A and B are shown apart, each in its own frame.
Chain A
Amino acid sequence: MSSISAKAGAMPAAPARRRSKIDRGHWVGLLYIAPAIVLVMVFFVIPLGMTAWMSLHNWPLMGQHRFIGLDNYVAITKDVRFWNALKFTGYYTVIVTIAIFAVAFPLALFVEKPRPMMGVYRTAFFMPVVVGFASASLLWAWLLNVDSGLFSPAAQELGLTEKRFNLIATFNPAFWSIIVMVVWKVAGFTMVILMTGLQSIPTELQEAAKIDGANAWQRFRSITFPLMRRTVALALILSVAGSILAFDQFYILLRGGPRNSTITAVYWIFNQSFVSFKLGYGAALSMVLLVILVVLSLIQLRLLRNPEGT
């Protein structure tokens, strides 16, 4: 709105003067955003350009590189293990996102309302977020260790299992251990995002609905959730993007095991680049993953757009 009125106000001025004013305004504006542009150029645009450039080469970690056009991309179409990794990443993303929201939403509802010790709850739920993924993985690597950890020996001592049960030796227990760990680690962050969304809903709306006789579920469905669309969209995109790029926890906790069943897309890129020393191929895989991520984010934004298009 304000930009429109500014334009309208400038209308009567002489065309020449207006242009110079706008020009100067442009330059000042450019000056203000220059640091940001430099940062984005140096840390995003140039590396992205280099990745794209490298992806067109046979670029070994050691030795000479040579241009091979789109050969890397052709190879990707035949790389069964990459597509399997992508499949697993998709599976993980769906499960972990549902799990995170299933935990974070109730938590957000719980900590949003003023109650005694609210600060303590909020801090406690948020605490794991500030632990880095690598350190959290190391902590859980110990918790899950079959011989010297916590869960397996405790289960045996309590008589739940007859002998030590190795949680990370088969796919399902290993996978769900990771899910639990990630939810523990990330739910607090999603909770805070959802909480700000909840707090931005005017209380009058809820009160009016109450007076009209709407029950808790009706209020949630017709008021809370629709008004939180944007917040949910943000939390969802962050969660999905984070899950598709998952690497640390699988690398540190499971080493891609048991038997290579938990290799994510990024893990495969890492392996190709730094185990097989094929940097060019790794770069091509990264470009493919980038495209997938952008498409997914666009789809999510579209789905969660407000119906009026605002």
Chain B
Amino acid sequence: MKRLTILAATATLLSMTALASAAETANIWVRADGSNFMPQIVEAFNKSHENQIKLDIIPNAEIVQKYATSAAGGTAPDGLSLDLIYTPAFAAAGQLEDITDWAKSLPYFKELSPAHVKTGTYKDKIYGLPFSADSSVLIWNKKLFKQAGLDPEKGPTNFAEIAADAEKVAALGGEIKGFYFSGACGGCNIFTFTPLIWASGGDILSADGSKATLDTPQMRDAIALYRGMVEKGLVPEGAKTDSGANFFAAFAGGNIGITPSGAFAIGALNTQYKDIDYGVTFLPGKDGGSSSFAGGDNFVVTKGTPKLAVLKEFLDYAYSLEGQTLLASRGSLPVRGDIAKEALKDLDPRYQIAAEAMAKGNTPYSVVFNDIINSANGPWAQMINEVFFGDDVDGALANAQETMQGIIDAGTGQ
């Protein structure tokens, strides 16, 4: 059904672009994660503007390869909504247009999401501007909390409370489990597990991404939390081998007490799982505090495109109050701090927590992010599985530290 809507939306867009032949048309791409909001904002833009945008939705796992091959063949799109963590790698490869002047000329430049601008900057030049945003948060099932005798309106605020609440919920028995995470998914855990470390005061990479710092007390505390819950049987058996397929679906099934997730889940639960009563809170540190992974997409421009003016017009629209509100209503948090409150004021209040998490969020910076973190066979993915379920935490940490540092030192080879 969702796919049908996307198809229909794309078809409408195509026919609309065909009509407006007099004006200029710029091609843009977005990864499939953006299919919730991108067709809508493109459609709204095309309706109200003479210049047009033609949108293609590309499967998440294929967008980098597809972009690289089309760039080599001279058929790359004019612009691209790119997972922000890839911006440094793309800029380093010389694929992107330097848009420093444009970015700095925006009156609200200082108000744009700092995580996006940080990853959009390579060697002091700006190659990407914030487009969509997603932050990691902790969500809990209020119905199960009530059944377990917990206060359904109060989410956990530190590690001990997470473990205690999860244990009470799991005690309900049957198919019901206390806690869920995708134990074989590097991307999921950089999004939801590292904030536990950040909130406790640690980090996994140095600020410039040149040093891996995995073996820290904060890391070990967060590991102890997860291991403890696994040992007590509070986590479903399937978590061990979940490479991300159940990242959202497990909680949506209604049998999970607590799970770390993202702002996107608010939109998805509200539209597709209306019967789940859930709360949203910050991902806490060991003794309180909070942090979040500030994720989402940067808008980047292909080097040498002749359609820069159209793209500017489109981005101006996306940054307007109208555009920011539209994006927020489809599950993408506002990226302009100065109008975030206004854009969110008529929406589900739980978005406010996600927006606040976004503003305080953190984003690791690395030109080899895909290699060290996201790859299903990278050191991060291997380490999290070993430290959560294996027998040798020390060995796993040491091994991951060494492999990760090796990849960072080898760099992109350019």
Binding site for B on A (CB under 8 A): 58, 60-64, 145-147, 152, 163-166, 168-169, 255-260, 263, 267, 271, 274-278
Contacts and interface: CB of A to CB of B under 8 A. Distances in A.
Given A257-B385, A271-B377, A276 B370 contact: yes
Closest 9 CB pairs of A and B: A63-B93, A62-B93, A61-B68, A147-B238, A169-B240, A62-B68, A256-B377, A255-B376, A164-B237
B240 A61 contact: no
Given A260-B377, A260-B382, A274 B65 contact: yes
Contacts of B376: 255-257
B202 interface: no
B386 interface: yes
Interface string B90-126: 1011110000000000000000000000000000000
A60 B370 contact: no
Contacts of A62: 67-68, 71-72, 89-90, 93-95
B64 A61 contact: yes
B240 A259 contact: no
20 contacts: A61-B65, A61-B69, A62-B72, A62-B89, A62-B93, A62-B94, A63-B92, A63-B93, A63-B95, A152-B237, A163-B237, A166-B238, A168-B241, A255-B184, A257-B241, A260-B377, A263-B377, A276-B368, A277-B68, A278-B413
B213 interface: no
Contacts of B405: none
A146 B177 CA distance: 15
A78 B67 CA distance: 31
Contacts of B382: 259-260
A166 B93 contact: no
Nearest to B69: A61
Contacts, number: 88
A259 B390 contact: yes
Contacts of A276: 368, 370-371, 375
Contacts of A260: 377, 382
Nearest to B184: A257
B243 interface: yes
Contacts of B72: 62
A275 B386 CA distance: 22
Nearest to B403: A81
B271 interface: no
Nearest to A279: B68
A87 to B, nearest CB: 16
A60 B95 CA distance: 12
B272 interface: no
B216 interface: no
Contacts of B238: 145-147, 166
A258 B89 CA distance: 28
Given A257-B241, A258-B240, 5 more contacts: A60-B93, A61-B64, A146-B238, A257-B385, A276-B375
B377 A147 contact: no
A34 B375 CA distance: 44
Interface in B358-410: 368, 370-371, 375-378, 382, 385-386, 389-390
Given A255-B184, A271-B375, A63 B237 contact: no
Contacts of B414: 58, 60, 63
A145 B246 CA distance: 12
Contact of A259 (B67, B236, B375, B386): B386
B370 A147 contact: no
Given A146-B238, A259-B386, A58 B377 contact: no
A165 B184 CA distance: 17
